[in-house]
Each structure stands twice: as C-alpha cells, then as structure tokens.
Amino acid sequence: MDALTINEAAETTGWSPRMLRYVEQMGLIAARRSPAGYRLYGPEELQRLRTLRELLARFDVGLSEMGFASRLRTDEELRSAVDAWFEAEPKRPDDVTAADWLRFEQEKHQRLLEAALT
Amino acid sequence: MDALTINEAAETTGWSPRMLRYVEQMGLIAARRSPAGYRLYGPEELQRLRTLRELLARFDVGLSEMGFASRLRTDEELRSAVDAWFEAEPKRPDDVTAADWLRFEQEKHQRLLEAALT
DNA sequence: GGAACCTTGACACGATCTTGGTAACGTTCG
DNA sequence: CGAACGTTACCAAGATCGTGTCAAGGTTCC
C-alpha cells in the first residue's frame, strides 16, 4: 500500500504538516482520505508537492497566487473575463479583424479540448 | 486633446489617484506621460480602468492577482512551468494522446494570435 | 487501555500588501 | 507671482499571507 500519512508526507516533501493542509485548502493538492478521514498521499501527490515547492521558489510565487492560477483554470467565466481584459490592449482599429478571427479559432479549440477532458 | 490628468481620471473611473499610481506600479495600466512627467489618461485607459474595477469586484479578485495574471502572460517561462504543473493532474496514460494533440493545435493558434498583436 | 497518530478549529505573530496621508519639490496658467 | 495641480518618497493603519502551536476529540494498534 503506497500512500503516506500527513507526517510522513511532510517528511519526504519538505512541507510542514500544517502547510500540507494549507496547500489543500488553497485548492492545489487535495490528498484522498482514508475511511476515517486521514489524508493519504500517493506518489503522484508527493511528486507534485515537491515540484510545487521548486516552482514557488524558482519564480518567487506564493501559494495564493497559485491558488488564483487554479481558479483561472477552473472558473471558465473568470478566465475569459481576465483574458478579455488583457486582450483589450491599446490597438488600432484595423488590428481587430484578424486578431478576433484568430481568437475565435483558438476558443473553438479550447472548447474541444475541454470537452475531450470531461 | 483628449487625455485626462490623474485627478480627472480618478474622478471618472472611481479609482483614487493613489490607486491609479498603484495600478500602474502593478504593471496593469501605465498612462503615457507629458513632457513634464505628468500622467495622461486617454479614453482607452479610462475604459480599461473602469472595466478593471468591474472585473475585480465581480470576481472578488485583487490587484496583485491581476498582476500575477499579467506575469503569467509576459513571462513565458513562468507560464509554461505553471501550466506544466497543473497539467500533471492524476490521469491515466491513455488520456494523453487526444488531449495533447488538441493542446498543440490550440497553442499554435495562440502563437499566431500573439504574433498578430505585436 | 494507552501511546502515538490523525482531524478540525482557533489564536498568534512577523512579513507583506493595500490604501491613505503628508512632505518636499516641479509645472501650468491666469 | 501665486494658486492649483502634478511628481516621487516616505510613514502608518488595517488586511492578508505564511506558518507555528495548542486544544479537544477521533483512530490505530500493540
């Protein structure tokens, strides 16, 4: 049975148990639970936890920022609102047509992608 | 001459002057400057400022989170690192092929889109 | 049954973020 | 020139983040 309990997981990942719960609360890595409610970390989660640490350190990113990134990819409405805002960069009127067409194409693929993943 | 100074811009957008400077510092909306260094807000910026307010309020998002979203789309290395991390969701090996192909297609369009906007 | 674990919830503290205010100084314009 | 406005730089009150710790109680297992 290859699943570690929270203290063991903390041991091998470098996070504190407290932080593992926090990471879960941020919606980033939710361990599955034993029948009694104990968190169980499999190899997948352990690896992701280590990778997450590297990522945060390397780019000086915070957990809450990763939490937001997570929101961006689960909340479709938020994502498109944010995308729309950024895409409204100062542009001359003629840029619109081509760019908008491309955007439509991209979003079509996006929808296909999401449909394929459900 | 249709450009407002910072206090006027604050008036019509609902931001405080202090916050307009802060928004700029977050890398979200930089007004152009007069020869003397005064910030000048054109209709584009004013509209974006209003939209930004709505967005933040509607989704309960903070400026720093939008700042991070901005980082995500300018720092290519960061973006791919974050994407990679999220894509490493628990998935069975067979899910990969179709989804990955679609993702490739989507990214191709993304690149085209970015090229078209520069 | 008791030691050693797990759970959630709370309090706490330093660091950082948000936002306003003020000071010191340059610009615009009647 | 002087009033009204802009700039940056700094201080400060309150909120949030990251993290530890502790309490009250359930689980595991010898």
Whether A57 sits with its Cβ under 7 A from any strand D atom: the answer reads no
Measured between CB atoms, does B72 come within 8 Å of chain A? yes
In angstroms, rounded to a whole number, what is the distance separating the alpha carbons of residues B5 and B77?
A: 36
- Whole-number Å distance, CA B71 to C1' C9? 35
Residue B2: predicted pLDDT:
84
Residue B104: predicted pLDDT:
40
Residue B90: predicted pLDDT:
54
Residues 15-44 (A) with a CB less than 8 A from some CB of B:
44
Residue B6 has pLDDT above 90, yes or no: yes
Q: Label residue A109 by pLDDT band (50, 70, 90).
A: very low
What is the DSSP secondary structure assignment for residue B93, as one 8-state letter? G
65-94 on A, CB < 7 Å from strand C: none
Task: DSSP for B36-75, please give it.
Answer: TS-EEB-HHHHHHHHHHHHHHHHHT--HHHHHHHHHHHH-
pLDDT, tens only, B37-91:
999 999 999 999 999 999 999 999 999 999 999 999 999 999 999 999 999 865 3
Residue A112 has pLDDT above 60, yes or no: no
B39 close to B6: Cβ distance less than 8 angstroms = yes
B6 close to B17: Cβ distance less than 8 angstroms = yes
Whether B38 sits with its Cβ under 7 A from any strand D atom: the answer reads yes
pTM value is 0.79
**And the tokens for A51?**
């990778």
Residue B46: predicted pLDDT:
97
Closest approach of A15 to chain B, Cα-based (Å): 17
Per-residue pLDDT, averaged over B15-20, amounts to 98
Whether B66 sits with its Cβ under 7 A from any strand C atom: the answer reads no
Residue A1 has pLDDT above 70, yes or no: no
Q: Which residue has the tokens 């926090």?
A: A22
Q: What dihedral angle (degrees, nearest 10) is formed by the CA atoms of B78, B109, B98, A43?
A: 0
Residue B97 has pLDDT above 60, yes or no: no
Nearest to A21 by CA among A32, A13, A33, A29: A29
pLDDT, tens only, A29-60:
999 999 999 999 999 999 999 999 999 999 99
